[in-house]
Amino acid sequence: MTAVVFSPSKVMNLDEVQRKGYAIANTPTWLVLRSPHNAEETYLQNVAGVLMRVLSTSTFFEQKWLVTRIDATAVCPTPEAVAFTPEVITWYMPKHIDPLFSSDGIDAKRLDTEEMAARNYSVLFIEAHIIVAIPGGSHIQDDQYFVTYNIESMLEFLWIEEVAHEDTSYKVLFPITTPPMARPPQVCNYTVPEQAVFVLELGTFNLHVELLNITFPTMVLTVAECNARGFNVQEQRSPDNTLKTFRMEVPFSDSVVFKEVCFC
């Protein structure tokens, strides 16, 4: 290996490449090049309507009278490649190459089709893009309910060389963090006074949210304690199994209910 040319026309020898923070190595059949994010030699390019950061190189090998040149280009998504709602994060990857095989990864673990379905993940191939959709998360901040998303996802392309029986892989590691979006829970009152039971519904929440206890003016009760008193606290899920609400029925006669007699 004698030199690396970074597009458009920046030439470096091997020592210079390594001092710049790049890692480069080769075997008789492989060339591996790793680059820091936002390195000086990378540049932005619009690919199929998605803004990508690009590293384009030509590596030269000299052996007596023979010079071999290997061109390699890697692209990394930018934050503009991500769209999100309170329910789902969508990552658009330009389909500028036609992979023979693709897979997703999370927490350094490859996910098979069944695991992706269980997590409500999806990968969609269309004419210009590969679209990865993953449900969002949620958390509490200053006693307020927020929806956010934080994940280090990986999309892998794999070409299988049938003659040489060797694989060429291209992995896109893309940490994604969305800003917190406030989604205050809504309380719906379905009480019918003639039935002498308060009927309240609280929601909506993501599926991982659990109801632990309920605070009343005179006491704090766990869900189990509420049900033991006959409050009938239930968890209800949306038809598409992506969100949940909590329903509670409290009899007028219970001691947590304040009673007031009005004389007209």
Chain center to CA of 103 = 15
Confidence of residue 203 (pLDDT cuts 50, 70, 90): confident
Window from 176-190, 195-209, 233-247 with minimum mean pLDDT: 176-190
pLDDT reported for residue 160: 63
184: helix, strand or coil: coil
**Cα–Cα distance measured from residue 245 to residue 85, given in angstroms and rounded to the nearest whole number:** 19
Which among 75, 79, 74 is positioned nearest to 91, based on CA atoms? 79
Confidence of residue 168 (pLDDT cuts 50, 70, 90): low
Express each pLDDT in 19-32 by its tens digit. Answer: 888 888 777 777 77
> Based on the domain organization, do 62 and 93 belong to the same domain?
no
Please say whether the beta carbons of 93 and 172 come within 8 A: yes
**Measured distance between the N- and C-terminal CA atoms of the chain, rounded to whole angstroms:** 97
User: What H or E segment, with its residue span, contains residue 224?
Assistant: helix 223-228
> Based on the domain organization, do 123 and 82 belong to the same domain?
yes
Of 29, 51, 77, the last residue of a domain is 77
> Where is pLDDT greater, at 104 or 264?
264
Express each pLDDT in 81-104 by its tens digit. Answer: 887 776 677 877 776 543 333 344
Model confidence, pTM: 0.51
Percent pLDDT > 70 in the chain is 81
According to DSSP, the β-strands at 66-77 and 82-84 are unpaired
Any domain includes 24: yes
Query: What's the number of domains the chain is made of?
Result: 3
- Across the chain, mean pLDDT equals 78
> Based on the domain organization, do 113 and 133 belong to the same domain?
yes
Domain holding 68, by residue range, is: 1-77
Highest mean pLDDT among 103-112, 242-251, 253-262: 242-251
User: What H or E segment, with its residue span, contains residue 167?
Assistant: strand 166-182
Cα separations in angstroms, 71 against 56, 74, 85: 8, 10, 39
pLDDT reported for residue 105: 46
Tokens of 208: 């991982």
Kindly state the greatest CA–CA separation across the chain: 109
pLDDT reported for residue 110: 63
**Cα–Cα distance measured from residue 235 to residue 203, given in angstroms and rounded to the nearest whole number:** 10
Of 30, 48, 77, the last residue of a domain is 77
Residue type, 36: P
